[in-house]
Each structure stands twice: as C-alpha cells, then as structure tokens.
Chains A and B, each alone.
Chain A
Amino acid sequence: MGGRWNYFRGMASIDELKRIATQVRRDILRQVHAVNSGHPGGSLGCTDFFTALYFHVLKHKPDAFSMDGNGEDLFFLSNGHISPVWYSVLARSGYFPVSELNTFRKLNSRLQGHPTTHEHLPGVRMASGSLGQGLSVAIGAAISKKLSNDSALVYTLHGDGELQEGQIWEAAMYASAKKVDNLIATVDANGQQIDGSTEHVLSLGNLQAKFEAFGWMVFQMNGNDMQEVVAGLENARKHTGQGKPIVVLMKTEMGMGVDFMMGSHKWHGVAPNDEQLAKGLAQLEETLGDY
C-alpha cells in the first residue's frame, strides 16, 4: 500500500533522504506510466531537491494543511508541469493518502495534470501550469507573512526555460527593490526545454549575473547531490532577513536516476511504456513500498 515517512524538520539523515528519493522516483515513473502522460524528465531531475525540502528543510504541518499556512514555511511550484514529483513528496510526507497517487491525471482526481487549488488538494496553494506566475504569487505570500509578523519563509521552484517569461523579471525587480528577504527562489537549471536545449531555443545567458544585476543574493548548488542540496538550502535559509531576496541556481540532470532518460530533453513530457517502466523501476529500490 505504500508508506509515509514520519517526519520532523532536520531529522532525516542524508542516507534516509536518498532512500526516500528512490521511492519518489518510482512514484514518478508509475504515475506517468499509468496514464501514459505527464512530465517525468524534470520531475526526476528535481527529486533530490523536493525530497530534501519536504523531509528536511521545510517547517510545515503535512497532517494539518491550511491555505493560510500561518507560522509555516510555504512552497510554490511555478513550473507546474513537474507535478508528479510534488504529488509524491506531498503524499509521502503526509498531506494526503499515498494511494491517491493512483488517481494522477484521471477524471475526478484532486491530482490534476498541473497542480491546482481548485480540487482542494492539501499542500497546494495556487494553480500553476501557465509559466512565469509563481514568483509574483510567492512575493505576495512573503509580504503577507511580513504584515502578520510571521517569521516563516516562502520557497519557490522555477524551470530555467520558464525564466524566458517576462513576468519573472518584473517580480525579480520588485523583490529586490522592496527588500522581500523572506523568500528563497530556486531554479531548476537543467538546460533543457520542450524544443531542445535552452542554449538552442533562447539562451538565458549568465543567470548568476542576471540575478545579481537584479539585486538578488545568488547561490549555486548541484541539485542532484543530496548532501549538497541539504547544505545549500540550509545555507540559503541562513541568509534570509538580510534585505535581499535569495535565489539558488540548482544544476540538475533531466531524467536523473533512470539511465535511459538522462542527457536529453526527449523525456520532458513523454511517459515510459511497459518495458521502459520495468527497466526504470529496476534501477530504483522500493524503499517505502509502492502505492
């Protein structure tokens, strides 16, 4: 039936996080395979980040979700298409029954193709899918926390291709000008988007320099090294409250953990067939029990 991880902030060891991550990767493959649709590539690439965030970094209450999240750290997924990884960590950390992963993208499900509040799925606080909107919403939530004297933090994740959207840079300008320093944005820098590499489609140039020019504190980390992800997110956390928004540029490999899905944009939005699923699952240990 698939288990949850009993979780408290800062409790899981690196080894435990790695073991959770292999289960999350299994969940991703099985979700997209079951409905022959969805986005496995970016989901697999961000699995280590999501696992570290939900099982080690966030101060949150998975078993008592509230939209307002007073006193809790909030997370906003701006690149909503990588919903399979988010749904897996939400379920595995206790926001909703793990068995519900079985409803992903099916009729009458709370697990819509792209995440939404519309079906009241615990853990989700805004709809995303149309790209470039999450940073603005997160800024609003961060300001709301400041107005309420709530010292918890607001996190976001964005795709690197998503940074081609202009609204991201409106938001980036605002966050530094207005000193929104309770905000940690992360960017999944996998260098890939639907039509090919970001370099080929529309080069992002020097992202570190761009964010610095916009007045942000910028950190980099390897998003597929669990130790580095945990250390990187804790380091970012330490730098909040210093008058600047923070962005962590996270180098990842699309398809990470499944050898034939890595090194290409081909698996951005394509589900594995039966044979490919079996081949992928053979590379990922079932640590918490499949749903």
Chain B
Amino acid sequence: MAVQFTFTDQNDTRSGFGAGLLELGKNNPNVVALCADLTGSLKMDAFEKAFPERFFQVGIAEANMMGIAAGLTIGGKIPFTGTFANFSTGRVYDQIRQSIAYSGKNVKICASHAGLTLGEDGATHQILEDIGLMKMLPGMVVINPCDFNQTKAATLAIAQHEGPVYLRFGRPKVPNFTPADQKFEIGKALMLKEGKDVSIFATGHLVWKALKAAEILDAEGIDAEVINIHTIKPLDEAAVLASVNKTGCAVSAEEHQRHGGLGDSIAQVFARFRPTPLEYVAVNDSFGESGTPEELMVKYGLDTADIVKAARAAIARR
C-alpha cells in the first residue's frame, strides 16, 4: 500500500535536520553536535543555543572535527557533525575511513548543501560524488531524505542506530509532503504511488519531481510506480525487486553523478538477481556551475521532464 502524502508547504531539508537535532538534544543527553563554522547554514543554531555545553564549534578545520567526533564516542557520546556535503566527505575521506568507519565509531556525519541545488556558489561546493564515496565505506549507512519532515524523522532515527551514518540533505526550500509524524525506518523503501508500467526509484530532492512526473505519465496512460529510496545503503533490495517484478523496467532519479550513485546500486541488484532495463536520471560525468537551483536541475537533466523521458525510454526497452 502506498503511503499517504500531501503537499503542505515549502521548506528546506536542512531545517528538518536542525529541528530533529534540537529534539534529540532535549530527549537524549548523550547527543552532542560539532560544526565547522557553518552553524547557521546547517540550522544548528537552535541546538547551540539550547545546549551550549554539548555544542562544539571547531572552526574551519573539518579533518579535526571528524577526529574529535570519533573520540567523543569513547565514553558514550553520540556526535553529530555538521558542514557542507563536500567538506563532510571528499575533504575528510581518510579521516572518516580510518578514525570513524574502520574504527567502528558511532558518528553521524550530517551534510547540507549537497548537489546542484546549492546553486550560485558553483561547482566547488556542489558535490555530486558524496553518495558514491560514502556508500563504499564498509558499515557506513547512507541516507538522503526527500523533504523537511523526512529529514527530521531521519535525524531522530539515526541517533538510535549504533554505527556510522552519512545523512545527506540540501539547501533550497522544496515541497514538504511526507507525514510529519512518520516513523523513519533505516533501509526501508517507501511506496509513494503504486503503478504497473514502470518503477521510478527516487531519492532526495528528486522524489517530489518523480511524483510530478508520474502525474504527467498518468495523463499519457502510463501507470508509473514511485518509490522513495531514502536509504541508499543498506538498499531495500526486496522492495526494488518486488517493484520491477511487476513493472519490468525502471528509472533511477538522484541529484548525484551517474557513476556511483543510487542508480548504480539498483543496477547492481538487477545484475545480480534480475536483469532489468534501467534509465538513469543523474548528472552524466560532469561538474556543475553557478545558477539558480531550478536552472541547474534543468540544464543537467534532473528535472521532472527528464524523469518522464526516462520512463518512456525504459518502457520502450522492456
């Protein structure tokens, strides 16, 4: 059965993180937060104000932040690090690999401004490789929620999970449509719209666009299934396979490089268990550039129209 969703308002996923972190602070004295000079951008200011003794401003020194977070777990703290997605991953990959992942530390790496929708700051800050980097690390959980409510729910859920987590979210205000009281289950895909002709597996900001694409396809007589893959690792392989067993073809949609993202994870499931035509909606081996989020999503092929086109192409290959 599909989950009920209704558009309520426009809000940014990073604010969902900030709201979740504040709630965690109230309910769990072991939760601590670290930030590398981006407290406002990460919406961590409410936590800082409410719990100054549990907030650590480390300055512009992300490598040190990851190491301190790893150390804080010794003694039972649950550290949440906050900075932009490119500074949360590529810049500190070896620190995460050795001090957090290989050391098995219970650190929550929370990353905002992921992908093209960071906008005008341009390609230096628009990381499109972070999902791939993080999902390759043994034991790392990778989550990319789709709206404010889901990001807040995910923030609460990862505090309950023992082990390192990468939580990816973004900057712009986007439709908020999943239920405010949803229970977030790590690794469990959400059925948003059932359909029989094509499966659309979407993550992050592309989920709303996938729902819009399904409406357009519906007008053409194509019954698309839309599944929200908020957890890229561990991937809900059973949900992916169940859907394509019904539809026979698929589209993956993500704000990430085609190489190494959600699409590749799904392709691996198809290759291992059930060869299935798959069309990628993703950035095709390219850096981004300056522009508004909307302009960039169109130029780099990540818009609603691109999902519609990909769905038609997938069906044609079935």
Contacts and interface: CB of A to CB of B under 8 A. Distances in A.
Given A167-B63, A167-B64, A174-B61, A143 B72 contact: yes
Chain B interface size range: 20 to 34
B32 A147 contact: yes
B74 A125 contact: yes
A171 B104 contact: no
B64 A174 contact: yes
B54 interface: yes
B75 A136 contact: no
Interface of A: 67-70, 74, 116-118, 125-130, 133-145, 147-148, 150, 166-167, 170-171, 173-174, 177-178
Contacts of B71: 126, 136-144
Contacts, number: 114
Contacts of B94: 130, 133
A68 B69 CA distance: 14
A70 B8 CA distance: 47
B305 interface: no
Given A127-B103, A139-B67, A142-B71, A174 B76 contact: no
A136 B64 contact: yes
B103 A144 contact: no
11 contacts: A74-B74, A126-B71, A133-B94, A136-B99, A137-B67, A137-B68, A137-B70, A140-B69, A174-B64, A174-B68, A177-B59
B252 to A, nearest CB: 33
Contacts of A174: 58-59, 61, 64, 68
Contact of B103 (A68, A126, A145): A126
Contacts of A141: 71-72, 74-75
Contacts of A130: 94, 97-98
A174 B95 CA distance: 17
Contacts of A125: 74
Contacts of B77: 144, 147
A137 B77 CA distance: 13
Contact of B95 (A69, A138, A150, A167): A167
Given A130-B94, A138-B71, A118 B59 contact: no
Contact of B99 (A133, A177, A178): A133
The 10 closest A-B pairs by CB, nearest first: A140-B71, A136-B67, A144-B75, A170-B64, A170-B61, A140-B68, A141-B71, A137-B71, A140-B72, A167-B63
A114 B180 CA distance: 47
B97 to A, nearest CB: 8
A265 to B, nearest CB: 25
B9 interface: no
A70 B98 contact: no
Contact of A135 (B32, B67, B79): B67
Contacts of B220: none
B111 to A, nearest CB: 19
B300 interface: no
Contact of B74 (A69, A127, A136, A166): A69
Contacts of A126: 70-71, 74, 99, 103, 105
A55 to B, nearest CB: 23
Give the interface centre of B66, B103, B105 by most chain A CB atoms within 10 Å.
Answer: B103
Interface in B74-129: 74-77, 79, 94-95, 97-99, 102-105
